[in-house]
Amino acid sequence: MKITITGGSGFVGGNLKKDLGTSNEIESKSIRYVPNQEFDLKTDAIIHLAGKAHDLKNVSQPNEYYDANFELTKQLFDGFLVSDAKIFIFMSTVKACADEVDGILTEEAQCNPKTHYGIAKKMAEDYIISQKNPYGKRVYILRPCMIHGPGNKGNLNLLYQLVSKGLPWPLGAFKNQRSFLSIENLCFVIKELLENKMIPSGIYNIADNEVLSTNELIKVLGSTLGKKSLIWNINSSFIKFLAKFGDYFHMPLNSERLQKLTENYVVSNKKIISVLGKSLPIVAEVGLMKTFESFKINNKKNKKINK
């Protein structure tokens, strides 16, 4: 099968190319939004990853999200509809449905995204769903939660740096539960979607089976590093005040990052598990330990380079 991956140079794209490349012909396509652009696609399947990621520093302009995540997706999907390609997989996000979750997020939830990132992704989803899908074509909209894996950078790396330096975790007062997604489980799902013609088109949440609190995450990190986890239960109101201070002075801890680190965000994966008829290969804690082990290896390499 010839598979075209947009945004193939990113974290997810790199892992997909490695995972799918042994038995498929992979084309990595670098694309960006240009007005009135048309795509002539010569492929069997398209995995659309390209887009603008959520900017936690809030320095991006709103139009950047709509151009990259909505307009570009619209152009690419139009090209898919008139092509001979049979499969279109769009990497959306759970944030296209909800920025905050009260209970468990399912595909049936009424969506109300708050950020330009989430709104633009939801607009792309709505456009895809609104188009008549020609017979024989399959279209999947995936809503992953926080993706992690070896080589990934982001909030989990921030936690790693904290624990590896022996610093205490100061947000122990926040008692949350949240879902994560191992890159191995995501690649497994996408491979199944490509190969199993019986899986119906639609929107699917993608998450590991298990949920963890951030405090539990810190303990897993400590176990990986062979260090005792230091968790401080500092008053949550005081922490929120410091985060607001960080909003104005562009410090590592700001309100949005605090929310991502401490929010309740539990995502149901029952729908995708049901249609797959298979369990996910990686348990959440095992996947997280693999991620943290990769941080440890990279940290050692960087220390050798800097000597």
Please list the pLDDT of the chain residue by residue as tens digits (307 residues). Answer: 999 999 999 999 999 999 999 999 999 999 999 999 999 999 999 999 999 987 656 667 899 999 999 999 999 999 999 999 999 999 999 999 999 998 999 999 999 999 999 999 999 999 999 999 899 999 999 999 999 999 887 778 878 888 888 889 888 999 899 999 999 999 999 999 999 999 999 999 999 999 999 899 999 999 888 888 889 999 999 999 999 988 888 887 888 888 877 889 999 999 999 999 999 999 999 999 999 999 888 777 766 666 5
Q: Is residue 248 part of a domain?
A: no
Three-state secondary structure along 229-281? Answer: CCECECCHHHHHHHHHHHHHHCCCCCHHHHHHHHCCEEECCHHHHHHHCCCCC
Q: Tell me, what amino acid is at 84? A: D
In a domain, 62, yes or no: yes
CB-based contacts of 72: which residues, under 8 Å, 6+ apart? 31, 32, 33, 50, 51
Beta-sheet strand order (sheet of 202-206): 25-29, 2-6, 45-48, 87-91, 138-144, 202-206
CA dist 106 and 89 (Å) reads 19
The pair phi, psi for residue 261, each rounded to 5°, is -80, -25
And the tokens for 81?
């509809």
Q: Residue 281: how many CB atoms within 10 A of its CB?
A: 12
Backbone φ and ψ of 90, nearest 5°? -105, 125
| Residue type at 88 in one-letter notation | F
Q: Is residue 120 assigned to a domain?
A: yes
43: helix, strand or coil: coil
DSSP state of 70: I
- Say whether 198 sits in a helix, a strand or coil: coil
Residue 159 lies in a domain: no
Block residue for tokens 């075209």: 4
Answer yes or no: is 158 within a domain.
no
| CB crowding 136-167: b at 16 or more within 10 Å, else e | eebbbbbbbbbbbbbebeeebbebbebbbeee
pLDDT at res. 307: 57
In a domain, 305, yes or no: no
Q: Is residue 284 part of a domain?
A: no
For the chain, the domain total comes to 1
Residue 197, CA distances (Å) to 80, 192, 193 in order: 18, 9, 7
**Which tokens belong to 205?**
């949440």
Count the residues in the chain: 307
User: Which domain CATH number covers 191?
Assistant: 3.40.50.720
| Distance, first Cα to last Cα, the chain | 46
Q: Which two tokens stand for residue 99?
A: 């920025």
**pLDDT the model gives residue 157:** 82
φ/ψ (deg, to 5) at 223: -60, -40
According to the model, what pLDDT value does residue 298 have?
Answer: 79
CA dihedral (292, 296, 302, 307) in degrees, to 10, reads 160
CB 148 within 8 A of CB 156: yes
On whether residue 287 sits in a domain, the answer given is no
- Side chain identity at residue 217, one-letter code: L
The pLDDT value given to residue 110: 96
pLDDT of res. 158: 79
Q: How far is Cα 292 from Cα 300, in angstroms, rounded to an integer?
A: 13
pTM of the model: 0.90
State the residue range of the domain holding 43.
Answer: 2-149+179-208+267-276
The encoded tokens of residue 128 equal 């895809």
